[in-house]
Structure 1
Amino acid sequence: MIANRLGSNVPPTELTTIRDALHEGRAVNPVTVREFLSWFDAKRRGISIVARIREELESLQLSTVPDIDEQWIDGLIAFHLSGVAEAASHTAAGSIGVTEGVASQAPDVEHLESKWERREAGYRLSRFQAANKPVVSINPEASLEQAVTTMMLNDFSQLPVMVGERDVKGVVTWSSIAMRSVLGKADGRLVDHMIKPVVLDGDASIFDAIQQIVQHDFVLVRDRERRIVGIVTAADLSLQFRALSEPFLLLSEVETHVRNMIGHAFTIPELTAARDPGSTHVVHSVADLTFGEYVFLLRDPANWNRLDIKIDRGAFCEQLDRVRGIRNQVMHFDPDGLDDSDIRVLQEFSAFLKRMEAISS
């Protein structure tokens, strides 16, 4: 089991309290994914922390709805008891029993099944922050002036026309208003200025949503209870893809600068000697080293002196190792992306390496 924030090998007290309450038939309030992660002293759903959380949930026969990997980080998840009878039968079938007078046998490791649980591989629309923000709407009986005022006050480009939280009558946009105005029909009822809404379920693939967003500039997002819970615009799409792509681009810059530093200073045999002890991959150039091997190579004072640069080796290698840790997180496709502090590390280290390369060239 994973150590809780006090360092003991027991599940977080919040989880055991939830389990006990559900067994007693008492209601349990949902929590946000972010709060749930905090019980494990985590901020993001990296692949390792999710695996550890699933282990704890399984040990307490608990499950979350939606799955912790599917919900937006500030979205709510509810807790349920797993099928106790099913879990018990699964345990009985998979356990190594001790019959009377017979010694326990060690498990056949080669034939043990992996505990990997099947995941949804797609990136869902519900992961967008904008798909989980309360939607400002207007009633069909409102005036056009009210709609225009609401859009101007909130800097909206579109405004859903709704009755309740599920019934969308249409959407008013600046474009739809402008087209009627050009035709001399700016007056009239609000419903005369509406366009047909594009509504997608939150579990729709982002790739399915992109085409609709590009074509219509926005989509409305509907949850499992068919409530309209968000609106994703082309601007939101741009910001989301910047958040997803920026770490990869910054890491590419950093790695290229590091390779430029190392590549001209060492021979192929010297680079080969920097490989991990258990590695057998062939090294043809510095590009064949892993990021960890860059750190290993440069931590050696003799190797560092070969670079002939007057900066502190310890501080440089410490930051380079921190970047290596961030790189591992990025390459495991953490669904919540990076903390702002990690992005700043990449931005600042990349800028630092650019300055070094400019001075030495």
Structure 2
Amino acid sequence: MKRRPTEKELLALKGTEVPVDHFLDLFGVRVRRPWNVHDIAQVLADAGLATFPDFATCGARDRVQITALATVGSSSSGQEEDGAVEEEPLPPGALPQRLRIGDLPSARGGVDCVPAGAPLSQATYLMRHRGHAQVPVVTATLVHGVVTWRSLALMYERGKDPTLDNAMQQDSLPVVDVRQEFFACLPMLMEQGYLLVRGEDGSLSGIVTNSHVVDRFESAARPFFLLGEIESLLRRWLGSRLTVDAIKAVQTNKRAEERTGRVEELMFGDYLRLLDGEQKKVAMAQQADLNWSALRCESLDRGQFVRHLERVKTIRNRIAHFDAKPLPADDMQELTAFTTLLRDYVN
């Protein structure tokens, strides 16, 4: 790190949004390396700041927002720190801010092709028996055309001989690169119904259809909706049963005079501190016992509930960091099961 901005300079940026390369320029850094990323993160933390999304993992052309770093405990308020760091709240309706065609699994999942000059039956066999709606006709990296159900229908409507050449769509082929922005390619996808995707080496790496897009956005958006419902249900449940003082007791990231006791202002980790009876701090554990009793849920096993809530918090933090990979099925099951459980007790 070639230079170190002052805390005053950094705090002046709080609440602003800047391109990530401009942010790195503040530290005299052009390329992110493990050592300078660590140094920059430490300087930010010392100033009580963070970036959203994380400057260390976001795209080179992304913009980052300079935000407050919320921690459990604050040395400035005289509270004892326990070393835990709470995540920034998820923005309402947040989704990953950058998506390339190559981020869709099918874009890199390979594609069944037939060689130029092959009998038409090879293409129709793939379409009928493997469920393909499009079969490219290729020679090495050269795409001659694509056989689709529409192109087949046009061939027969026009009374042409049933050959591969006559059955191909050859004009205006929707070929894109894995590095292209997804949303820039959407008009072509909507018009053609599919996109042929070239990998970094120029060869066809996969194919993207409307159904692939629906699957990708379902896997990306559903966790956000589930987490939103989980937080809403937790706040409704806890807010209706717990006292203002009980809620204030876990707002340790604020000075005593700033604690409102409003359940809407709790961080996700605060829900655990409200209910976990095995905390290191005896007073907090005793208050958690009282809180659990106030919920009046005798049929619910407290230990299992708290462990499930901890797993949900871990999943939530992963999503908050905009992990590009789709959420694993086990994690989706955890979120779905916890949402269902809360619905039974809150609604």
Both proteins in one fold, TM over 0.5:
yes
Summarize the Cα distance change of 1:264–1:129 in structure 2 as closer, same or farther, 3 Å threshold.
Answer: same
1:189 matched to 2:151 = no
Query: How far off its partner does 1:231 sit?
Result: 0.8
The amino acid that maps onto 2:340 is A
1:326 matched to 2:315 = yes
Alignment counterpart, residue 288 of structure 1, candidates 265, 268, 271: 265
Q: Does structure 1 retain, via aligned residues, the 8 Å contact 2:155–2:162?
A: no
Contiguous gaps of at least 5 residues in structure 1: 1-52, 60-108
Task: Give the whole-Å Cα distance in 1 for the aligned partners of 2:252 and 2:190.
Answer: 46
Q: Deviations over 1:290-333 (max 9, x none)?
A: 11111111230101111111122222122112211211111111
C-alpha RMSD over aligned residues: 2.9
Q: Does structure 1 retain, via aligned residues, the 8 Å contact 2:134–2:149?
A: yes
Task: Give the whole-Å Cα distance in 2 for the aligned partners of 1:287 and 1:179.
Answer: 59
Indicate the SS of the match to 2:196. Answer: strand
> TM-score if structure 1 supplies the norm length?
0.63
- Displacement over 4 Å in runs of 4+: 56-59, 114-118, 277-282
Contiguous gaps of at least 5 residues in structure 2: 1-31, 39-45, 63-97, 277-287
> TM-score if structure 2 supplies the norm length?
0.65
Query: How far off its partner does 1:221 sit?
Result: 0.8
Aligned to 2:275: 298
1:180 matched to 2:155 = yes
Summarize the Cα distance change of 1:147–1:118 in structure 2 as closer, same or farther, 3 Å threshold.
Answer: closer
Summarize the Cα distance change of 1:331–1:117 in structure 2 as closer, same or farther, 3 Å threshold.
Answer: closer
| Greater CA drift, 114-123 or 231-240 | 114-123
Summarize the Cα distance change of 1:124–1:296 in structure 2 as closer, same or farther, 3 Å threshold.
Answer: same
Aligned length: 252
Query: How far off its partner does 1:245 sit?
Result: 1.0
Summarize the Cα distance change of 1:133–1:189 in structure 2 as closer, same or farther, 3 Å threshold.
Answer: same
Aligned to 1:25: none
Alignment counterpart, residue 210 of structure 2, candidates 219, 234, 238: 234
Query: How far off its partner does 1:56 sit?
Result: 8.1
Aligned to 2:34: 55
1:345 matched to 2:305 = no
Percentage identity across paired residues of the two chains: 29
Task: Give the whole-Å Cα distance in 2 for the aligned partners of 1:253 and 1:201.
Answer: 37
Q: Deviations over 1:10-41 (max 9, x none)?
A: xxxxxxxxxxxxxxxxxxxxxxxxxxxxxxxx
Task: Give the whole-Å Cα distance in 1 for the aligned partners of 2:253 and 2:101.
Answer: 43
Indicate the SS of the match to 1:232. Answer: strand
The amino acid that maps onto 1:295 is L
Task: Give the whole-Å Cα distance in 2 for the aligned partners of 1:172 and 1:148.
Answer: 8
Q: Deviations over 1:218-272 (max 9, x none)?
A: 1111122211111111111111111111211111121122122112113444322
Summarize the Cα distance change of 1:348–1:118 in structure 2 as closer, same or farther, 3 Å threshold.
Answer: closer
